[in-house]
Structure 1
């Protein structure tokens, strides 16, 4: 027997779902749900949130599907299409009502490791101060086959390489993410205590809401850990690519939204950390500057030099000293070019 504070929590999988009638959407969802049924620890529930799908039969389909899977499954229907972030938020009251303790987000085409629930319950029970956990990821295609690293889009290739970097543990590790890492906040690889998820719901934006939320979680001082041995299988189809990028319309537009939405979350994290007294205003400007340099390099790899140049110029204006220390001569030239254009 363990003390009450050490009682392993119930894990609530929250899945945002949108259906416009393509058969593969329902097949992927079925595989995602099967990966939950295959959990080695049965202490879980599932909440599938229908994000106002345009396919008329989607509501009846989800109701029938959850009824078939059993009482631990629930379908929640939204009357407004707001994107994945707001859809995930809609499940939180139901999770709280049903006594859920930990949220494990999972996209409707990704596959949970069979031990995800077991690992999460153990980690959260053993450390009452722990609030956020993330998993490593493995890229798979539409048929469930692994990607070779050199086949991925350049930005995804960066993310794949970062899987080999030391894992992040402790508090205020958002700084490492901001200045050094492409993204460790794939929604399907994120889990958090319900109380933190209620405090920082996903923003009402359609893309890159995950990184913005990640920054806010960790900027609040939340303690982070990595779930060893329960790698997420993250689906990126070979035909069509990332669903978010497809819905955004094109890669450059997606990256432009990304720069704005991620930055908003980082600015909030900096403000919270400064208010907590763990960060000075000068250090905050330096972190924002280095983030802008990093994201500029990321979008530049995708071929969006104009967008990258804007980020370099913003970085220079935020903190000229830090920019001079961390930007390459070519990056400094690009920033200066924008400054000259703006002045003229």
Structure 2
């Protein structure tokens, strides 16, 4: 069988990396390649990797410069550049794990996705803690769903989404790339709109990714500067979505997205001109009446 899947690991922390590699070694289908891009980490993984040389096929590259601290999206992209000719790409967090049938189910369902010219395949997912214990149910998804429907379902809290549980074609990645928002907050959310080009996403529900939530996780760190950057990211990517793809969303969904963007702008940046500029943008998109509602609901 032709190898169509590249699993890309942007590596930085050793703490949970063994569990990640164990989950790859346990795959029931070994027809995948692993590319590990070390972001100039102070935690050398080489001794650990030696244990897996005969268990999984991988290439390891230590970069001379730490890029993730400056631009996480560029770190993702240079790790992808390590890969070769595989048609499909999956970025796996160095603290996340995959169910042992993950690759097997990918190939089992692949022909269905390819027949429909689908560019993004999403797996089920669940949250785990620092010890690897499940802290949530397994989140499943409709088998076929438009990108806008998927975004709004997650937006409303009826689903969840992170980078790890999505595979995407090399073709669509090279065409669209990841958009760069502060600390990459929303870069993946926008990708799952742009990579399928607002078309269909195919979901696999009988294999899943374990998404680790720990104190080391970027979205969990209690750092004031990071908190501000996360809020800026949420503002920017939601504004970007409406600026570029408003026609794919119902007017009330546009209202909800813009309300969230405005809230995070106002709680992260007190620049009056930026606020006024965004208010004018909202008026242009959904009208003055709904804009007034948003402003009134977010007085600080």
Shorter chain as denominator, the TM-score bin is 0.7 to 0.9
Mapped pair 1:115 → 2:101: yes
1:121 partner SS = helix
CA distance in 2, matches of 1:74, 1:13: 11
Residue 189 of structure 2 is matched in structure 1 by 211
Alpha-carbon shift at residue 321 of structure 1 (Å): 4.1
Structure 2 gap ranges (5+): none
> Would you say how many aligned residue pairs link Structure 1 and Structure 2?
283
Comparing 259-268 with 208-217, which one deviates more in the overlay? 259-268
CA distance in 2, matches of 1:316, 1:267: 9
Alpha-carbon shift at residue 174 of structure 1 (Å): 2.7
Deviations 1:298-320 (A, max 9, x none): x6xxxx98459969957742434
Residue 111 of structure 2 is matched in structure 1 by 125
With over 3 angstroms needed to count, the CA separation of the structure-2 counterparts of 1:247 and 1:109, relative to structure 1, is farther
CA distance in 2, matches of 1:40, 1:186: 24
RMSD value, Cα: 3.7
Structure 1 gap ranges (5+): 1-6, 19-24, 150-159, 272-278, 339-344
| Bigger helix fraction | 1
Residue 79 of structure 2 is matched in structure 1 by 91
**Does the 8 Å CA contact 1:51/1:77 hold for their aligned counterparts?**
yes
Q: Residues 30-49 of structure 1: matches in 2 within 5 Å?
A: 30-49=18-37
Residue 15 of structure 1 is matched in structure 2 by 9
TM-score normalised according to structure 1 size: 0.68
Deviations 1:216-274 (A, max 9, x none): 213x245311111112111112xx26323428645641432322442365257528xxx
1:86 partner SS = helix
Deviations 1:13-50 (A, max 9, x none): 111112xxxxxx32301110110111111101111111
Mapped pair 1:333 → 2:296: yes
Runs of 4+ with deviation above 4 angstroms: 247-251, 283-288, 294-297, 307-316
Residue 157 of structure 1 is matched in structure 2 by none
Residue 227 of structure 1 is matched in structure 2 by 204
1:130 partner SS = coil
